[in-house]
Structure 1
Amino acid sequence: MLTPSELVARAAANGAKVLALTDHDMVTGVGEAKEASEKAGIHLVPGVEISITWGGRSVHIVGLHVDENNQEFVSKLDANRAGRVERAVEIGRRLEKQGIAGAYESIVKQVSDPIIISRKHFSRFLVDAKICATTNDAFEQYLKKGRPAYVFHEWTTLENAINWIKSAGGIAIIAHPGRYEISEQSLLALFDDFKQLGGVGIEVVTGSHSRDLYPYFADLAKQYGFLASAGSDFHAPGETYLDVGRIPPLPDGLTPVWYDWF
């Protein structure tokens, strides 16, 4: 919802010293964010959040310190992102069957490129239309798996995402593992596959985790020998309980993902 420059300014105002920009399946904002961060005195980490399909569901893999100018990497992100238009059109059609017309058309007028449309845009539409009270309510009522406007999409594989990130000089992190509605057995299987394929860390503290999940994922990070990451998962003002630059410290005894950055 903010431009890269606006995001950096907000992070700086909140006291951030290090900021990773991790847009979904794209790195086009990194250049602008770098320029703004240099002026603001912030260390900018080029990043990305890649959508994958694992075990029949969507999972997000964050890449940190990727080379945003690696054209092979960028082209693979472009290909992964291309399915968003078809999915968005179908979400709009399914909402219309629920008596909610014009969602896709309204969102298209507000975005710079239809290829970036996500379920989050539809959740905001439902809030603005006063159909749902919050974006979380919109997911619960219409957009999450099993709800009437959910549309399954086959993203790239876990192996591909990790290899893409590594080929672009980055490191792979599992984003907000507590957000995926899977059994503990499946979660551990995901961690096993991730580690075997070259993944190095998980998000422990994030705006998509409740605070009671911090120690749980801290323990799992230690168990697997993962680096621990932290992030606000900030998308727009007022949408998450953690603002950008306002992240609590990691629990004790963890090796942070940034341990060798400075």
Structure 2
Amino acid sequence: MEIQDSLIDLHCHSTASDGQLTPPELISRAVANQVNIIAITDHDTVAGLPMAHGYIAAQNLPIKLINGVEISTNWKNHDIHIVGLNIDPTCPELENFLSTQRELRNERAAEIGRRLEKAGVLGAYDGAKSYAGGAALSRGHYARWLADNGYAKCVGSVFKKYMSKGKTGYVPNNWQSIEKAISIIHLAGGQAVLAHPSGYKFSAKWLRRLVREFKEAGGDAIEVVLGQQSLNDRANLIALSHQNELMGSLGSDFHFPGGWLDLGKNMYQPKGVNWIWESEKWKSNIA
């Protein structure tokens, strides 16, 4: 099958970070959804990749797994996520970088717990840890615990009520720079992709600035097709990719089964995009 005829999803999460399916469960769902090529891109960890590869081999499944990671970065005090695709997960520089990232993530998570407890939300830290199941603790784990324990109606409302700037559980990010993340991804042999650009809710001016500075920092591609997206948003992201001479990528940002987002859902491949899998570097990585 030609890659342009494949169903591709290059952004999803497992229980190695804040997803709710184990790597084997994630692969099984992708196969059931007829996804041909998938990248597991857990937050600041590659721990789920060996299990996923092993499961594919043991079951002889008809799917290609791309080694990936999603790195949290700080850009002008905003959380910006950079996806690394076709990385070597055993690269020493990458391993050291991700170890530092997880330390920063754990420090931030502990501070969120302290602030919530001070505000009278008791047990949030231990509760979130129970949801993480050994993975690095994230705001997503807190959100699930708070929603399930009646502090908000749903996970989305938790962020508005507790985690947004100025709220009880808000803690500024302490991540490293976009430039550092891109450099590490390149050292690991991969390509750097700006994740869900329109998801940051920036003004048009600030989004253009972000994409331009991502390119100047050495970025390779941006996600132009997202799991939930209007046609106007897709057209705007494609235009930004052309204006900045960036390749296009796509991904559902799947975390758990639901009605709106699923593996491979809405992963169309519009014409006129210089897709990342058409690059010589991609082809040499998966040859």
Fold shared per TM-score above 0.5:
yes
Q: After superposition, where does 1:72-111 map in structure 2 within 5 Å?
A: 72-111=93-132
Report the number of matched residues: 260
Q: Greater shift after overlay, 207-216 or 191-200?
A: 207-216
Of residues 39, 44, 48 in structure 2, which corresponds to 1:29? Answer: 48
The yes-or-no answer on 1:175 pairing with 2:195 is: yes
Cα RMSD of the aligned pairs, angstroms, is 1.8
- 2: CA distance, partners of 1:213 / 1:97: 40
Superposed counterparts of 1:164-203, under 5 Å: 164-203=184-223
Structure 1 equivalent of residue 180 of structure 2:
160
Cα separation, partners in 2 of 1:210 and 1:86, compared to 1, 3 Å: farther
**Distance (Å, rounded) in 2 between the aligned partners of 1:208 and 1:144:** 21
Corresponding position of 1:142: 162
Q: Pick from 145, 149, 169 the counterpart of residue 125 of structure 1.
A: 145
Measure, in 2, the Cα distance between the counterparts of 1:66 and 1:205.
21
| Equivalent position of 1:50 in the other structure | 71
1:182/1:59 CA distance change after superposition, 3 Å? same
Q: Secondary structure at the residue paired with 2:52?
A: helix
Contact 1:52 1:158 (C-alpha < 8 Å) held by counterparts: yes
TM-score under structure 1 length normalisation: 0.92
CA distance in 1 between partners of 2:227 and 2:163 (Å):
19
Counterpart-to-counterpart distance in 2, 1:79 and 1:223? 34
Return the alpha-carbon distance in structure 1 between the equivalents of residues 164 and 233 of structure 2.
Answer: 21
Q: So what's the TM-score if we normalise by structure 2?
A: 0.85
SS where residue 80 of structure 1 aligns? helix
Please state how far the C-alpha of 1:209 moved relative to its aligned partner.
Answer: 4.3
Find the aligned partners of 1:230 and 1:79 in 2 and give their Cα distance. 28
- Give 1:235 shift: 1.2
Specify the alignment match of 2:273 in structure 1: 254
CA distance in 2, matches of 1:24, 1:210: 26
CA distance in 1 between counterparts of 2:129 and 2:225 reads: 33
Over 3 Å counting, the alpha-carbon distance change for 1:78 and 1:210 in structure 2 is: farther
Q: Which residue number in structure 2 is paired with residue 17 of structure 1?
A: 36
1:194 CA drift (Å): 1.4
User: 8 Å contact 1:16–1:246 — kept in the other structure?
Assistant: no
CA deviations on 1:170-227 (whole Å, 9 max, x unpaired) are 0000000111133322222222221122111111112364554212212211222211
Matching residue of 2:246: 226
Note the C-alpha offset of 1:104: 0.8
Shift of 1:4: 0.8
User: For 1:162 and 1:73, how far apart are their aligned partners in 2?
Assistant: 11
Give per-residue Cα distances to partners, 1:105-136, cap 9 Å, x unaligned. Answer: 1122333336x111111111122112222211
Shift of 1:63: 0.4
Q: Which stretch shifts more, 8-17 or 178-187? A: 178-187
* Aligned 8 A contact 2:147 2:158 in 1: yes
Deviation per residue, 1:8-57 (Å, 9 max, x gap): 01111111000001001111111111122342211100000001101111
Alignment partners' CA distance in 2, 1:200 and 1:142: 34
Residues in 2 aligned to 1:208 and 1:159: alpha-carbon distance in whole angstroms: 28
Any gaps of 5 or more consecutive residues in structure 2? 1-19
Distance in 2 of aligned mates of 1:103 and 1:26:
23
SS at match of 2:209: helix
Conservation of the 8 A alpha-carbon contact between 1:214 and 1:251: no
Query: Which consecutive unaligned segments of at least 5 residues does structure 1 have?
Result: none
Instruction: Single out whichever of 204-213 and 224-233 deviates more from structure 2.
Output: 204-213
SS at match of 1:72: helix
What SS class does the counterpart of residue 82 from structure 1 fall into?
helix
- Percent identity between matched residues is 40
